[in-house]
Chain A
Amino acid sequence: MPRIPILMPQLGEAIAEAVVRSIRVKPLDRVDCDQEVMEVETNKTNMGVTVPCRGKVVEITAVLDASYPVGATLGYLEVTAADAARAGFKEPGPTRGKRKPANRQATGAAAAKQGEAVNGGIHFRVDEEDAFTVAEPTGVRPTVGLPVPANATGATYLSPRMKARMQELGLNAADLSGIAGTGAGGRVTIEDFEKFVRQLDSHAQSDASPMRIAVADAMRRSCLRPLATVGRPVLLDRLLMHRKQSPSKPGPTLYVIRALAIAIAENTAVGGRLVGGKIIHPRSIDIGFAVEVDDGVLVPIIREVDNRPLREMVEPYNQLVRQAQSRKLSLEATGTGIATVTNFGTFGLVWATPIPLPEQNLVLGLGAGRKKPVWSDEVEAFVPATEAELTLSFDHRILDGGAAGRLLSRVADLLQKPETL
């Protein structure tokens, strides 16, 4: 009776091996098709190893708590020839125990055929009675292509020529996102690229402004990191009431800036950057805010916001807005902050996923306020309230959803006590 292997199953994307945690059968046990005979553990999950058809366990080669790659043989079943064929095994025995290297070097050569034509355009020829005819060597495997370097598959791999050509044309990798690569691993070949460049000529073109290019550069660099966004609603009535009663009429953005600064000051790590194995904490809580200008955005910075009460910042804030709009920001105000607040609500937007600046971990967004009925315990009825969405985008390497949510909730809480800001 044929023997067929019990194999380490496919374990899901990007998982190459698993540890055998339990073995539920022993030799001579009879098993049914798809019966779980072992349990294996990956770094994400536990799963069962099943057998492909009914039969008798004849050998368990796997060792408890040892790790095996996908496709490795863990044991053998003895099965009927019919069952083996049904399960897709033509030959008994270990067939997939070891995986072959993905790309084999060309192994020498099949010989040329006798009398093969030689390029007629060349001014010499090889005689038909050539000495090249010999037996065809076996074992020459067709090859698909060269392997793309590890960790650089698909569109992220750029050949030296691609890089040189892109530099020549002033292009960035992000500019290639529209090209479907035809090369190995889906990479963009120079032919793909040149075709793309030629095709661009059929479109109307206009120059991007320096501001546009600067924003593009910052966004592209920022997106080298894994970014995520969380959001939650916040009631703005108290803030708006406080604002109404303040003679200086601070803008809602300023309340949020101050609240964010206080929240970060309570745990500066959330405002830090990750470099290598270290969290780099901010030296001071300097917060920027987005100001829309012609064809772009400027982000003036207010220094040490955690140490400055709201009322003291109103005039400097207003001045920065004016300076930004007239593009006359001081050097002090154009430096680096640790977080940015953007009031996308001014555009009527209720929700957005802003992208933090490349040197910052956090960008906090404020959506447009809307009237909503809110239950009031005092009057025991729904009363109108103003609610907006507060969003926080962050570098997921530094913060997880929970931590980001707690930070955001702390900001929302602080906004409920505007008089303390």
Chain B
Amino acid sequence: MNVTYLDAIREAQAKALARDDRVFLYGQDIAAFGGAFKATKRLAEEFPGRVLDSPISEDAMVGLAIGAAIDGMRPIIEMQFADFSSIAFNQIVNQAGTHFYRTGVPVPFVIRLPSGGNKGSGPFHSQSLESLYAHFPGLVVLMPATVEDAYTMLLDAVELDDPVIFCEHKLLYYHLKADKLPAEGLPIGKARIARAGTHATVVTAGAMLHEALKAANQLAEEAWEIEVVDLRSAKPIDTDTILASVARTGRILCVAESFPWGGLNAEVIARVVGEGFHLLDAPPLRLNSRDTPIPYHPNLWAAHRPTAASITTALRKLLGF
């Protein structure tokens, strides 16, 4: 069996629908059409009345999910692209994010955000918004980087009693494959050491994990052993695992596809400097995409986001200190 990252998301939704009557799916083009990326393929047939097409109304989609969640349901919302969730920003951060704290009533639902860049996708179909949503209280922000995590984390997300922003990376949809789906995974909130090493730590998540692993492999040819931490969750951040890794290596590079200003990389580095200053043998570094909108042409795009090559360059700098 060959399971793609996208299959894992589809299967996780199928399983959630099958095992929990409270689950329903709501989003644009997700019913008969099966979704823009086919993440809900045939689910409308298998679960009649529980996979619903929405109007192009991101605000109302999320508002509806909040109302249903208040009423005891566990909706999964598919944003067609993460970029479009900006329309629902108010409902996500002001309604969903504040609801439990204000009222004591949790709002359990999941928003799936097809995230990240792809060749030729341009400024409005490429964004990585995990830092944006992680900024606001009351939200859990997940970033599965593997087929296995895409499956187990989505199932876990549905069971969580709080709103979950599920950042799935479009670049991984068709290309990332596994032999089979796992029975269980690491708990939500735990980071994973994707590759052990001793000379420097790379902290990353999502599609950037694979770029970081490529960079680590390249440097391994020169006898550098790079440890790669897959955050899995942008909020909460597994600070303990990161600090333990920095304790092993003394050097840290944070890599994210999101924009550089503030954000996840800055957050990780702030924590490492604040709690693990004594562990650092070199200035902590970060690598983000550039501070421009995401360009259309592949040549520009490849130089906009971090890649294995730019991660290698940054690591050489770090190792050269």
Residues of A within 8 A of B (CB): 103, 106-112, 116-119, 121-127, 129-132, 134-135, 137, 140, 142-146, 148, 159-165, 183-184, 187, 189-191
Contact = CB atoms under 8 A, between A and B. Distances in A.
B250 interface: yes
A127 B290 contact: no
B148 A145 contact: no
B241 interface: no
B250 A161 contact: yes
Interface string B184-214: 0000000000110000000000000011011
Contacts of A183: 320-321
A163 B281 CA distance: 9
B147 interface: yes
Contacts of B216: 119
Q: Is the interface of B mostly helix, strand, loop or mixed?
A: helix
13 contacts: A106-B313, A109-B302, A111-B302, A118-B210, A118-B217, A124-B177, A130-B175, A143-B316, A144-B320, A145-B317, A160-B277, A189-B281, A190-B281
Contact of B321 (A106, A129, A145): A145
Residue with the highest number of chain B CB atoms closer than 10 Å, among A110, A124, A144: A124
A134 B303 CA distance: 10
B119 interface: yes
Contact of A146 (B175, B299, B318): B318
B301 interface: yes
A191 B320 CA distance: 12
A121 B307 contact: no
A134 B147 contact: no
A143 B313 contact: yes
Contacts of A107: 303, 310
B119 A146 contact: no
Given A118-B214, A119-B195, A161-B250, A129 B175 contact: yes
Q: Is the interface of A mostly helix, strand, loop or mixed?
A: loop
B54 to A, nearest CB: 29
B306 interface: yes
Contacts of A122: 194-195, 213
Contact of B175 (A116, A131, A189): A131
Contact of B217 (A117, A127, A132, A187): A117
B298 interface: yes
A117 B216 CA distance: 11
B299 A134 contact: yes
A132 B175 CA distance: 11
Interface residues of B, number: 51
Contacts of B217: 117-119
Nearest to B283: A146
B178 interface: yes
B16 interface: no
Contact of A111 (B178, B277, B307, B316): B307
Contacts of B308: 109, 112, 116, 132
A66 B299 CA distance: 45
A119 B309 contact: no
Contact of B317 (A106, A121, A190): A106
A196 B313 CA distance: 29
A364 B270 CA distance: 52
A137 B303 contact: yes
Contacts of A161: 250, 278-281
B176 interface: yes
A123 to B, nearest CB: 7
A137 B302 contact: yes
B131 interface: no
Contacts of B118: 131
Contact of A159 (B280, B285, B306, B319): B280
Residue with the highest number of chain B CB atoms closer than 10 Å, among A118, A126, A144, A145: A126
Contacts of A130: 175
Contacts of A148: 321
A112 B214 contact: yes
Contacts of A164: 277-279
A415 B310 CA distance: 73
Contacts of B88: none
B178 A132 contact: no
B74 interface: no
A161 B178 CA distance: 40
Contact of B310 (A108, A131, A135, A162): A108
B321 A125 contact: no
A369 to B, nearest CB: 54
Given A122-B213, A190-B281, 16 more contacts: A106-B317, A107-B303, A110-B309, A111-B307, A116-B214, A118-B213, A119-B195, A124-B148, A140-B313, A143-B317, A148-B321, A159-B280, A159-B281, A160-B281, A161-B280, A163-B278
